[in-house]
Amino acid sequence: MKTIIAACSQNLSGSRASIQNALRTLLAVPWPSQRDVGSALQLLAVLQWVLSFLLLGIVSLLLLAYLLFTSLWLIPVLYVAWVIFDWDTPEKGGRRLSCLRRWTVWKHFRDYFPVKLVKTHELSPSHNYIIGSHPHGILCVGAFCNFITGSTGFEELFPGIRSYLTTLAGNFRLPLFREYLMSGGLFPVTRRAIGYLLSQKGTGNAVAIVIGGAAESLSCRPGVTTLILKNRKGFVRMALRHGAFLVPSFSFGENDLFRQVVFEEGSWMRSIQRRFQKMMGFAPCLFYGRGLTSCRSRGLLPYARPITTVVGEPLAVPKVENPSRELVDRYHELYIRALLKLFEENKTKYGLSESDELHFL
């Protein structure tokens, strides 16, 4: 019996020693620094954004289709009925939620790159504005961060101005994704939606439009700035009809966030991309960025490159109910000149060389 008790005591002593050694080892491991925690939060913020924009709509659609054939079939039926009832809301002001724009997650999103907003001129709350956003890039990170989230201080830089951002109308046909977009202040890039914002919500509204659209994303690559703008005049016509001032903006660094396989004009792959873009509204780009575990691995996360969005001088536009083609062409040319001036005055400040030029298609 004494032998058994002694053995048990020895085992307990050994167990205590093992636990103490394990605790000492655990305490000896360095805890993550504040910088490490911040970097992890930034990475997660960007990850949720990328997954939301690439997968939320499709996953929601597949989920509702699956539920339709289960005992929970009433959920998709009621939601579809709601969407039919609510169909015109995206083009009639939407359901913008200020709390969503102030999420802390957007500050981590901003700091990942980081993204910065620069004001060059005042915007008066007594006018409405159409802000041309250039370039498109792959996922319009600069436009989203500056005009949809409050993380870069748009409302503080331009007091009395409410910013909105337009996107493909097809995105608002995807379940749940449409609610997510509207809550942030995104609207379809249609005449009806833009006209509503410029005529039915008073003054002090700034509607940002990524002029180059999906077609411009096909030319997105580091070191080259090609804008689809020569034949894009609808935004000028809308500005004239509503007397909205035109404001150029340029996001320096937008094209450096991803690497893309760019097919030459005239190749069969570029032809397929063009046809797909005409049918579906967006271009199927073959791009990659960094992976989740390492910046040296490949994945769908953007590289951490600084983005500086410079908002230029507003171009006064008269209100003309039915503007002539000549008038539209004149203000389109004035807008291009203002954009070129903005680019030339700021390119060397934000990462480009003196020899870099804008190319227009």
Distance CA 205, CA 210 (A): 16
208 near 143, Cβ under 8 Å?
yes
Residue 11 lies in a domain: no
Domain assignment present for 20: no
- Helix axis angle, 191-199 to 234-242, nearest 10°: 30
Type of residue found at 352: L
Cβ contacts of 156 within 8 Å, gap of 6 or more: none
What pLDDT does residue 45 have? 94
Q: Is beta strand 115-119 parallel, antiparallel or unpaired with respect to 186-188?
A: unpaired
The distance in angstroms from the start CA to the end CA of the chain is 94
Q: How many CB atoms lie within 10 A of CB 114?
A: 16
DSSP 271: H
Q: Does residue 8 sit within a domain?
A: no
d(CA 188, CA 167): 5
Residue 51 within a domain:
yes
- What's the CA gap between 240 and 230, in Å, rounded? 18
Could you count the other beta carbons within 10 Å of the beta carbon of residue 339? 24
Nearest to 129 by CA among 202, 232, 233, 229: 202
- Does some domain include residue 19? no
- Name the 3-class secondary structure at 207: strand
- With beta carbons less than 8 A apart as the criterion, state whether 303 and 114 touch: no
pLDDT in tens, the chain (361 residues): 444 444 444 444 455 666 666 656 645 656 667 777 888 899 999 999 999 988 898 899 999 999 999 999 999 999 999 999 999 999 998 888 888 888 899 999 999 999 999 999 999 999 999 999 999 888 899 999 999 998 999 999 999 999 999 998 888 988 899 999 998 889 999 999 999 999 888 899 999 999 988 778 777 666 668 898 999 999 999 999 999 999 999 999 998 898 877 656 666 666 666 666 665 555 666 777 888 887 788 888 999 999 999 999 999 999 998 999 999 999 999 999 999 999 999 999 998 888 888 888 8
Note the pLDDT of residue 130.
97
Q: φ, ψ for residue 167 (rounded to 5)?
A: -145, 180
pTM value is 0.85
Number of domains in the chain: 1
Would residue 120 count as lying in a domain? yes
Q: What are the φ and ψ backbone dihedral angles of 165, each rounded to 5 degrees?
A: -135, 135
| Structural domain range at position 275 | 34-360
Residues 6+ apart with CB under 8 A from 265: none
Q: Give me the pLDDT at residue 11, please.
A: 47
114 found inside a domain: yes
Given the structure tokens 């070129």, which residue do they identify?
340
Residue 77 lies in a domain: yes
pLDDT of residue 9: 45
In angstroms, what is the C-alpha Rg of the chain? 26
